[in-house]
């Protein structure tokens, strides 16, 4: 007897800084189940050659779906966890591999202009519409992952343009973590970690421009970066 | 046209302290593919009601499979990540949700006595036999997760019996992280975090017994626990 395999999908939680808040990008479902509801960008993993394309992994499936549905490739993409169970999708037992995607505001703003996504605050005050499937929970879990990693890594820099001021970076951490950081302490910890590279770019007001920095690598770990204050 | 869903399995990396080393518990595959090879305990997620049992989630599938194959329920089980792709299983495109399981040595030792598993060192010097599928990689990823979490949490206590001495706990961290910790510093950080509860139990040699501690909760976070020395 041949048993039916569970449904395997990927869903991507795109987080971005917009209007001074951390926001998630949502699409609108056009088909049942949940037609008309807000939904994370996502879709089926293609493993069957008859689909015309076989994904190399769930990560490749996430990148393919973002490209197909939004024409968008995030600067940072990481797997968060896999949600699963018999009830989360009315079509059958399903598992969804959830990804966190981070990108500078400009590209996400372009998606809003094009009407492809709408943004909804997740922090500090969540303002989410009713979502399809268990997507509210997937967003909360991805947000918790970002906040946990923000405490000891440079992950938050992926929410900024490639070159940024240290003050921009500190403010981004404050928005993500909900803390107020000491300017001198943040600067000292961040520079001591050797995770940033100073550039020739000067950013800001005429007469008082600040140094522009970029990330040295994709992710650096820094102990005690965030004060928790 | 109905496409075939990918194969969905779970695999469990059971790590335990044995003979002064961190070791992984492996079974022997009895069926093709890879019959005769060492393999992680794992199996299909049951989502089709015709299998006679529908798992509530991949976590429930992992617990069911450990119970069925080994009669064993670990004291700590956490999802690590999902490995996937068209080539990792010759039967077809597959995704495996990988779990890390930790338990005190006694129960794992009983499984060895019963011939259900064999233990193989993963740290400090790995000594793994050729494994089925991509299981060598799954073990390395689960080990990296344990080592990363060990640096800032009480996770390592799950490798000890429910009541342990602070010296046992420090030695367990040293074995997992490959570091040498300062006794006084480790004691101070661990007790300051309020993650342990002193018990009435005294452990050790007559005339010089040491206080027995147990974990207060499943997991506590402690900044800068491990010296990195």
pLDDT in tens, B81-131: 999 999 999 999 999 999 999 999 998 889 999 999 999 999 988 999 999
Q: Which of A1, A3, A4, A6 to mutate to probe the B interface, most B CBs <10 Å?
A: A6
Residues B37 and B62 in one domain: yes
Residue B19, SS3 per DSSP: coil
- The total of structural domains in chain B comes to 2
Task: Identify all chain A residues contacting B89, using CB atoms and an 8 Å cutoff.
Answer: none
Residues A77 and A168 in one domain: no
Residue B107, number of CB atoms within 10 A of its CB: 16
The pLDDT value given to residue A229: 46
In a domain, B222, yes or no: no
The whole-angstrom separation of Cα A143 and Cα A120 is 13
User: What is the ipTM score, two decimals?
Assistant: 0.93
In a domain, B225, yes or no: no
Instruction: Give the position of tokens 């997620």.
Output: B45
Q: Which of A49, A93, A96 to mutate to probe the B interface, most B CBs <10 Å?
A: A93
Task: Identify all chain A residues contacting B224, using CB atoms and an 8 Å cutoff.
Answer: 223-224
Q: Which CATH number covers residue A143?
A: 3.90.79.10
Whole-number average pLDDT of chain A: 93
Indicate yes or no: CB of A3 within 8 angstroms of CB of B85.
no
Contact B116, B13 (CB under 8 A): no
In a domain, A220, yes or no: no
The pLDDT value given to residue A228: 55
pLDDT in tens, B38-69: 999 999 999 999 988 999 999 999 999 999 99
Q: Which CATH number covers residue A163?
A: 1.10.10.10
- Residue B229: pLDDT over 50: no
The whole-angstrom separation of Cα A117 and Cα A109 is 9
In a domain, A202, yes or no: yes
Residues A49 and A97 in one domain: yes
- Residue of A145, A144, A169, A132 whose CA lies nearest to A17: A169
In a domain, B160, yes or no: yes
Residues B100 and B204 in one domain: no
Task: Categorise residue B88: left if φ over 0, alpha if ψ from -120 to 50, beta otherwise.
Answer: alpha
Residues A14 and A76 in one domain: yes
The whole-angstrom separation of Cα B211 and Cα B196 is 12
Residues B32 and B83 in one domain: yes
In a domain, B221, yes or no: no
**Percent of chain A clearing pLDDT 70 (strictly above):** 98
Q: Determine the structural domain holding residue A190 and report its residue range.
A: 155-215
Beta-ladder partners of A17: A22
């Amino acid at each position: 007897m041949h048993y039916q395999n569970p449904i395997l999908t990927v869903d991507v939680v795109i987080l971005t800084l917009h209007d001074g808040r951390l926001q998630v990008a949502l699409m609108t479902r056009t088909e049942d189940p949940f037609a008309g509801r807000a939904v994370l960008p996502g879709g089926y993993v293609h493993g069957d050659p008859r689909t015309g394309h076989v994904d190399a992994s769930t990560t490749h499936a996430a990148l393919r779906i973002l490209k197909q549905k939004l024409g968008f490739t995030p600067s940072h993409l990481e797997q968060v966890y896999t949600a699963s169970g018999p009830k989360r999708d009315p079509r059958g037992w399903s598992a969804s591999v959830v990804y966190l995607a981070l990108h500078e505001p400009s590209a996400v703003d372009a998606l809003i202009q094009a009407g492809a996504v709408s943004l909804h605050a997740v922090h500090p005050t969540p303002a989410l519409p009713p979502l399809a499937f268990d997507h509210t929970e997937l967003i909360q879990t991805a947000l918790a992952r970002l906040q946990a990693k923000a405490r000891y890594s440079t992950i938050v820099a992926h929410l900024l343009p490639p070159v940024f001021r240290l003050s921009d970076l500190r403010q981004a951490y404050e928005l993500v973590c909900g803390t107020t950081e000491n300017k001198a302490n943040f600067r000292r910890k961040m520079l001591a970690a050797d995770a940033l590279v100073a550039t020739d770019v000067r950013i800001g007001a005429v007469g008082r421009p600040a140094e522009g920095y970029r990330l040295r690598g994709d992710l650096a770990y820094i102990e005690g970066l965030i004060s928790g204050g």
